[in-house]
Structure 1
Amino acid sequence: MTEARPISAARIDVSAVAAAAWLTGTAFLALLVLYVVGLDQGATSILGSDTHIHEFVHDARHLLGYPCH
């Protein structure tokens, strides 16, 4: 019979500064995505007659409560 050896995992050390930086970056990107989803109104598109962005985020707009029709 072989003897089982304990498995040691590498410890991840995350400082408070690194955690705050990741949290800030994640919050900024989330707000940027929310802004882009609400940016294009469809009928009053700021991108002219190109509706690709509006159609790409159409269902997300309804989920978030943005009016678009």
Structure 2
Amino acid sequence: MSTSTPEGSRSSDDHCTPDALLHSAPSRDVSPEDLVMAAGRDVNPKNLEWARRKLETEGPAAVEKLLP
């Protein structure tokens, strides 16, 4: 059984999230949640605290350092 859905049978609510909403840009404010998600970690209090400390010391560049 196929799990794919033909384009014609998708509901009007089934759409892609715009790219600008999926990525943080260094020129914008980066939240601890952004950093946690960019690192591939679960959003939980421990990881949010890690991200807050990292953003305090490295600023928005902390996100860039996660990229390959």
> Could you say which structure has the greater relative contact order, defined with CA pairs below 8 angstroms and 6 or more residues apart?
2
Q: TM-score, normalised by structure 1?
A: 0.29
Q: TM-score, normalised by structure 2?
A: 0.29
Higher helix share: 1
